[in-house]
Amino acid sequence: MPHIKQINHVAVVVDDMDKALSFWRDALGMELHELRNVPAEKSQVAFLPLHGSEVELVQPTSADSGIAKYLAKRGPGMHHICLEVDDIEGMISQLTSKGVRLINDTPRAAADGKKYAFIHPESTSGVLVELYQL
């Protein structure tokens, strides 16, 4: 049986990275591990690790990306929650068999080889859920 292991990260879409970091890093005191440009996602991402999990701040770098459209429509705020799974193909099969609507029916591979897939908010009570296999 595929198994959800933990919250891998929570992603927040922001419209001003400096202002966001003034809260998450400077006021809360969280460590900024890395500030990375991710051209494949047309975003700049700040990674703030927390005891095996992470807060990620995501700012679009192009107006034509999905995340830029989300930001334009809904404003800054929570974007998705990512759950680590030990067997992403098995979990996708299990979800499909139970009628869950997936955005990615087959896992995609990130640049570092990690496999991920998104579940449609329609099936999750309105939350965009990412699955991640490390």
Site of interaction with a copy of itself (CB under 8 A): 1-7, 10, 12-16, 19-20, 22-24, 26-30, 50-53, 55, 57, 75-78, 81, 83, 91, 94-95, 98, 100, 121, 123-127
Question: To the nearest whole angstrom, how small is the minimum distance from the Cβ of residue 56 to a copy of itself?
Answer: 12
Cα–Cα dist 45/79, whole Å: 13
The residue (of 41 and 87) whose beta carbon lies closer to a copy of itself is 87
User: In whole angstroms, how close is the CB of 115 to a copy of itself at the nearest point?
Assistant: 17
Distance CA 21, CA 102 (A): 32
Residue nearer to a copy of itself on the CB measure, 16 or 38:
16
Q: DSSP E strands: which ranges in 51-114?
A: 53-60, 77-85, 108-109
Judged by beta carbon, residue 27 or residue 109, the one nearer a copy of itself is 27
Closest to a copy of itself by CB, 30 or 45: 30
In the complex, minimum distance from the CB of residue 85 to a copy of itself, in angstroms, rounded to a whole number? 9
* In the complex, least distance from residue 111 CB atom to a copy of itself, rounded to whole angstroms: 25
Q: Which residues, other chains included, contact 78 with Cβ-Cβ below 8 Å and sequence gap of 6+?
A: 10, 11, 12, 13
Listing from the earlier edge strand, what are the strands of the sheet with 4-13? 34-38, 43-50, 53-60, 4-13, 77-85, 129-133, 115-119, 108-109
- Taking alpha carbons only, the member of 125, 79, 120 closest to residue 100 is 120
